[in-house]
Amino acid sequence: MTMFPIIRRTDRILVQGLTGSQGSFWTERMLETGTQIVAGVSPKRAGETHLGLPIFASARAALAGMPVDIAVMFIPPAAVRDAALDAIEAGVRGLVVLTEHVPTHDMLTIFARAAAADCRIVGPNTAGLVTPGEAFVGIMPGHNTNVFQPGRIGVISRSGSLGTLICLNLTRAGFGQSSFIGIGGDPMIGTTTEDALRALDQDPRTDAVVLVGEIGGSMEETAATYAATMTKPVVSFIAGRAAPEGKRMGHAGAIVAGNAGSYAGKRAALEAAGVTVVDTPRVIADALSARLPIYAHDTA
């Protein structure tokens, strides 16, 4: 069985909110890459076919007639709770919550139900997951071969836009990606930086990891404890070095108070764990070449 949150071509995907404009656009892109989308959910259009896919009134109705592994949600914030619980109770083992601004009490309910059902959540406010050459779910440009190419470097990022930039730079430097995991930028998320790091560490297709962090919260410091146990090299870039103390940044989780969640604190924890921390995204490929000499020629 695939180790979610790493997505594979064999994963069977249900798209909740498939018939909306964003759901339709990104479903088409996902299908282009070979992602195995099996159905969609849209209560008002149940019984129809859209993009060649059957549309159901609920996840439970869809799973009653076909196997589904993962549900991805193109759902507005107020409707996320009911849609997520529908998918979890239907039996999906993974749920990708793209939506941001989901009410906190709704997410607490979702997390509790997911834990009881042994369902792993990525997000909320995630840009999604990509395995170049196989599949992607979400709103990352997994169909764009200028950004994503198959390779052996795993990438973790809170930010979709920053993650896209990192993958673009890696591809231009001759590095492909084994998997991209967008964990999401909200304060409470289902898959943490450490969770993603563990998944890539255990993935035989991954030789090294690029960890893209941000100021605020303590996920990078927590992940550093695990990184210290790894034999695979880890290179990291932390965004927000110049941010003033107490400044809230673009992501809901990015607020710094004293040294808690600060750039200096994160960098010190990661470097103490043996992680190479770089000052700018453009030198990540050089840092990887230094840690993985076998790839050094790729960046020439």
pLDDT per residue over 106-141, tens digit each?
999 999 999 999 999 999 999 999 999 999 999 999
- Tell me what the mean pLDDT of segment 225-239 comes to: 97
Sequence-distant (6+) residues with CB within 8 A of 70 are: 4, 7, 11, 12, 13, 14, 92, 93, 94, 95, 96, 137
Residue 169 falls inside a structural domain:
yes
pLDDT band at 299 (very low <50, low <70, confident <90, very high): very low
Q: What average pLDDT does range 200-221 have in this prediction?
A: 96
Compute the average pLDDT of residues 20-34: 98
Q: In the chain, what percentage of residues exceed pLDDT 70?
A: 91
Q: Does 130 fall in a domain? A: no
Does residue 81 lie in a domain region? Answer: yes
Same domain, 278 and 186: yes
Same structural domain, 203 and 273: yes
pTM for this entry: 0.93
The answer to whether residue 138 sits within a structural domain is: no
Asked if pLDDT for residue 3 goes beyond 80, the answer is no
258 and 220, same domain (yes or no): yes
2 is a domain residue: no
* Same domain (yes/no): 199, 63: no
Annotated catalytic residue 101 = no
Q: Output the pLDDT for position 191.
A: 97
189, 117: one domain: no
pLDDT, position 2: 45
Tell me which long-range contacts 56-62 makes (C-beta under 8 A, separation of at least 24).
58/86, 58/90, 59/14, 59/16, 59/83, 59/86, 59/87, 59/90, 59/92, 60/86, 60/89, 60/90, 62/14, 62/38, 62/90
294 within some domain:
yes
- State how far the alpha carbon of 192 is from the alpha carbons of 158, 182, 209, 252, in Å: 9, 10, 15, 15
Task: Locate 26 and state its tokens.
Answer: 């990104």
Q: Is the pLDDT of residue 278 over 90?
A: yes
pLDDT of amino acid 7:
97
Mark whether 196 and 72 lie in a shared domain: no
Q: What is the model's pLDDT at position 82?
A: 98
Asked if residue 284 and residue 151 are part of one domain, the reply reads: yes
Domain count, the chain: 2
Q: Which of 50, 101, 143, 251 is catalytic?
A: 251
pLDDT band at residue 298 under the 50/70/90 scheme = very low
Whether residue 166 sits in one domain with residue 106: no
> Does residue 103 lie in a domain region?
yes
Average pLDDT of the chain to the nearest whole number? 93
Q: Is the pLDDT of residue 44 over 90?
A: yes
* 31 in the same domain as 148: no
pLDDT confidence band for 293 (50 / 70 / 90): confident
CATH number at residue 284: 3.40.50.261
- The answer to whether residue 242 scores a pLDDT higher than 80 is no
Average pLDDT value for residue range 162-191: 96
